[in-house]
Amino acid sequence: PLHCIVILAHNGLGTFKPVAKLLPNKQVIMAMLTTHGSFRSNPLTITHTGLGQTDIGLLSGELSSLQQEQLTSQLNSALPQVCFHQDIKKKQWFKLAINCVINPITAINNIDNGEVNDKRFSKQINLLLTEIIELSQVENIGLILTDLQAMVYQVALATAKNCSSMRSDILADRSTEIDYINGYIHHLGKNNNVATPENTRLWQQVLKLKS
């Protein structure tokens, strides 16, 4: 129904357009990004392992200021801290960049998040981020290399002992979100005649791990 709010809560990009095609034109569709820690302990149970912050924002449709406040309040009562952002798309790209680095590197090398900060990955990280920055400009998102480098370092440090979701999926023989992370960058680059060799290489490597 049109009065319902659809919230996309997942890693990566690339689901908004196909979802929007299935819904009415004025449907409210939102993005949700979170840094809460969790893992799937069995098919029907998610275990919460660490507090974080959740960011939400509009991708399409409209919400009044009062509706934004009410929704944020409801979500906060379930699992704080939740913040509403007017520019959620830029936050999506920031998180995409972090995931494009940490997730495939940890999955391919079978390492904890903290090891991504090892110097042996520095050149690879810079290549990945440079490709992402170039493509972000296609969607009018301004990203800065030093900012992304710092964020990757901070996230890897803060979650040093954690197993990334992609590595967990590979170890559990589950499908990964790689098509919506580095795979998204590959396809966006292809559609805009922008080369993304490093993101493409990691996308293909993770696909081979799963196969």
Q: Which residues are catalytic?
A: 95
* Direct distance between the N- and C-terminal alpha carbons of the chain, in angstroms, rounded to an integer: 39
Per-residue CA distances from 133 to 10, 18, 70, 97, 195 (Å): 21, 24, 35, 9, 12
* Amino acid identity, position 122: S
Helix (H, G, I), strand (E, B) or coil at 50: strand
DSSP string, 143-190: --HHHHHHHHHHHHHHTTTPPPHHHHHHHTT---SGGGTHHHHHHHHH
Helix 122-136, helix 145-158: angle, nearest 10: 130
- CB contact at 8 A, 125 and 100: no
Query: Omega into 81 within 30° of 0, i.e. cis?
Result: yes
